[in-house]
Structure 1
Amino acid sequence: MKSRLFLLLWMCCSVLLTACENEDPIPEPPVAGSRTVLAYLASDNSLSSFALADLEEIRLGMEKVSANNVHLLVYIDSNSSPRLIELKNEGGELVENTVKTYENRNSVGVAETLEVFDDVFKNSDYRAESYGLIYWSHGDGWIPNPLPSTKWVGQDTGSGTHYMNIEDLVTILSADAVPHFDFVLFDACFMQSIEVAYALRSFTDYYIGSPTEIPGPGARYDVLVPALFSDGEAALKVATAYYEPYEEIYNDGRGMSNTNWTGGVSVCVLKCAELETLASITRQLLPENANGDELRSLVFDYDKRSLRSGHVGYYDFVQLMQQLTDASGFAAWKQVYDMAMPLPYWKHTPKNYSAFGGMFSMEGSNGVSHYIPSASKQSAAAAFRSTDWYKSAGLSKLGW
């Protein structure tokens, strides 16, 4: 009897031991306060020289980061040798490691971008308590390329001309390996639009961008990189680090060059958790029907391109709602809008520079753009109707 009982116990223990051996090891928890940031420079285009200059600034910025619980990964494709590198400050000395090199590629393709994201976010060495993302390239807000898709950011001209539409970026950010971000910064033109911010609301706490064309050199990364790894309100500090270097040298565009950008800048931060509430109150307050062409003539337009040079029209969201609502309705709406900018952070120099329209006043602007369809641009209007924002904010009510 005892021998049978012993045999039974031995068999049970063997099963338990086998089960334990087959279990996947439990990953170590991330180091408290740790942060991993990926800067994705899709620069196989006319901006390639700026990307190389920015990479040098990133190196200088990382020399100022003393924390040892952070990871800065930079993907750069500047006409040749696409590569993923890691920059570290080890005891005051900058160490640069090439994590991976890639064949010449379309760096705005979904599969190609996902490969890079997997190489970072599936790597246990880069697991962290919080994450940030910088997307660096050409940008054109929500507008698609080609129409009537939806909207795009990122251009690759290495072999033909390719664009990343925003729905492609949504696909990438939805991948299992990609974490939720504390902040996403777009170092690209026209990206602070409600249509794009709303599309990305589930993937980041804070969305940072400019409603205008950005300076040719982009962010001053020697200043911005330390802010990426700051404690507290990192998104606010990142936006400040983007804005202040240009504010300091602003001179109404006088003597401006890419090495002395005196033409100003504008930067805005949105809190994504409030955007669904903003969509809801927008839907509640919209009137029946609205003349888009008339509104386009009344509302501030951040887009200074001519029709011939590709004008889309990025109109000030706050001014648009002022036109569409009465005083009490606008006051209720503005209260919710202000909750989506709780830091608050909307900074602009008195004027900004457009490569197409020169210096222009920023008076009356509020930091976030919204499309207003035109009867003469039916393909763009069709693309606009496909956006999540159009559907959630009930814009069909306007007859758009």
Structure 2
Amino acid sequence: MKKLLQLLFGTLLFVLASCKTDVPAPYPLPQAHADKTLFVYMPWSAARNSNFGSLYQAFQRNISDMKTAIEADGGLYRNRLIIFISTSSSSAVMMEITYKNGVCHEDTLERYAAANLPELTTAGGIANVLGTMKSKAPANQYAMIIGCHGTGWLFSNGGRRVSTRYFGGSEPYTQTNIPTLAEAISRAGMHMQFIMFDDCYMSNIEVAYELRNVTSHLIGCASEVMAYGMPYHKMWRYLAQLSPDYQRIVNEFHNFYSTYSTPCGNIGITDCAVADEMAGVMKQINAAYTFNLADTLQVQKLDGYRNTIFYDMGDYVDKLCGGTALYTAFQSTLSRLVPYKSTTPSIYTNLGETPSRYISVTRFSGITISDPTVSSYESAFLNKTHTQWWQVTH
């Protein structure tokens, strides 16, 4: 009888212990492998010797919003949060956000100065930062959030922005090309659950195709996003889940920007596993149909450039081959490529190149394409042919 009671008591303790591991909050910081490490990467967003165009204060607000969400949720669960933020073009800090007794704390892991700061516009430099992050916070899976300015797939050439967000700063010295990012993640031996660009113009097929082998999902805005960036205090819990709730992420973004002081914003989430299939469909379409450049004005514009660079992909292909069997195949593939998306009725541009800062959106597929552009800005009409996307679809 005594042995039976001991057995029952031991079994009860086992069950209670087993149940406890399934309780969602709170948990002490994982000492070995976390379930997921979220890595927030915020490189310098201005020029080498200038603060002009810097988003540093906006980044600080983003971090504050993340902390607010973590505290509201009662902790990080079995996740870890590492942030790399540049404080100038030659200095940065890597820190971990931890949670204890209802409050978030910033624990410095690494300080960088000119002598030890990796070159963040090179694959080796970014891979170095990613490797440090992995060693500090090993996990079963990783996700990456990139905060900066952004100009989609365009190659670094010194474009400037002030109150909207490109991938880097306001001169080539602080700008990173997308193929460089892809190579860096590959060199670090990583595959991201998602890469979220908190930057302008990053939800485009050229970027998604370039990153298809290093991330499962791409989250980004097809147009400009306000300097405020992503509403992390609303979205965080859905990003941090082991399996992110992509629909809720889109919903929270839409709800926030629908009532923002400038009620403009769009977002798309791309399943990069479908990128190769889409490339195959577009290769067939491009072999069978030629776009009439006179029709470019009829395609939904999703940027603020005088000569459009970023067109809505769905609307472009509709104008190219709508009503055909290939278009039906394209629509089917597109629905799986970008299953989550949202836009406000208008988008905002701060470029000052269009008659109005507001552009009406009547067609939105969540992702852009630059195939029909004839823009000379940063030689887009020529450089588009140097992207992986162009080369496999033409």
TM-score range, shorter chain: 0.7 to 0.9
> Aligned residue for 1:6?
none
Is 1:345 aligned with 2:353?
no
Amino acid at match of 1:35: K
Aligned match for 2:319, one of 298, 318, 323: 323
> Aligned residue for 1:18?
none
Amino acid at match of 2:387: T
State how 1:230-249 maps to structure 2 within 5 Å. 230-247=241-258, 249=259
SS in 1 for 2:342: strand
* Aligned-pair CA distance for 1:161: 4.0
State how 1:35-114 maps to structure 2 within 5 Å. 35-45=36-46, 46=53, 47-65=55-73, 66-79=75-88, 81-104=91-114, 107-114=120-127
Unaligned runs of 5+ in 1: 1-27, 251-260, 396-400
> Aligned residue for 1:17?
none
With 51-60 and 332-341 compared, the bigger mean Cα shift is at: 51-60
With normalisation by structure 2, the TM-score equals 0.79
User: 1:234 and 1:374 mapped to 2: Cα distance?
Assistant: 34
Unaligned runs of 5+ in 2: 1-30, 47-52, 159-164
With 182-191 and 109-118 compared, the bigger mean Cα shift is at: 109-118
Q: For the aligned residues, what is the CA RMSD?
A: 2.6
* Aligned-pair CA distance for 1:143: 1.1
With normalisation by structure 1, the TM-score equals 0.78
Amino acid at match of 2:133: V
User: 1:153 and 1:215 mapped to 2: Cα distance?
Assistant: 12
* Aligned-pair CA distance for 1:44: 3.8
SS in 2 for 1:63: helix
With 163-172 and 102-111 compared, the bigger mean Cα shift is at: 102-111
Amino acid at match of 2:360: S
User: 2:33 and 2:375 mapped to 1: Cα distance?
Assistant: 53
Is 1:156 aligned with 2:169?
yes
Q: Count matched residues.
A: 340
Larger radius of gyration: 1
Given that residues 151 and 201 in structure 2 are in contact (C-alpha distance below 8 angstroms), is that contact kept between their aligned partners in structure 1?
Answer: yes
User: 2:219 and 2:375 mapped to 1: Cα distance?
Assistant: 31
User: 1:197 and 1:381 mapped to 2: Cα distance?
Assistant: 19
SS in 2 for 1:305: coil
User: 1:288 and 1:388 mapped to 2: Cα distance?
Assistant: 20
Given that residues 36 and 128 in structure 1 are in contact (C-alpha distance below 8 angstroms), is that contact kept between their aligned partners in structure 2?
Answer: yes
Amino acid at match of 2:381: A
Amino acid at match of 2:388: D
* Aligned-pair CA distance for 1:29: 8.1
User: 1:169 and 1:281 mapped to 2: Cα distance?
Assistant: 26
Write out per-residue CA displacement over residues 162-197 of structure 1, whole angstroms, 9 at most, x where no aligned residue.
31011111111111x342111110000000110000
> Aligned residue for 2:152?
141
Question: How high is the sequence identity, in percent, across the aligned residues?
Answer: 21
Given that residues 107 and 156 in structure 1 are in contact (C-alpha distance below 8 angstroms), is that contact kept between their aligned partners in structure 2?
Answer: no
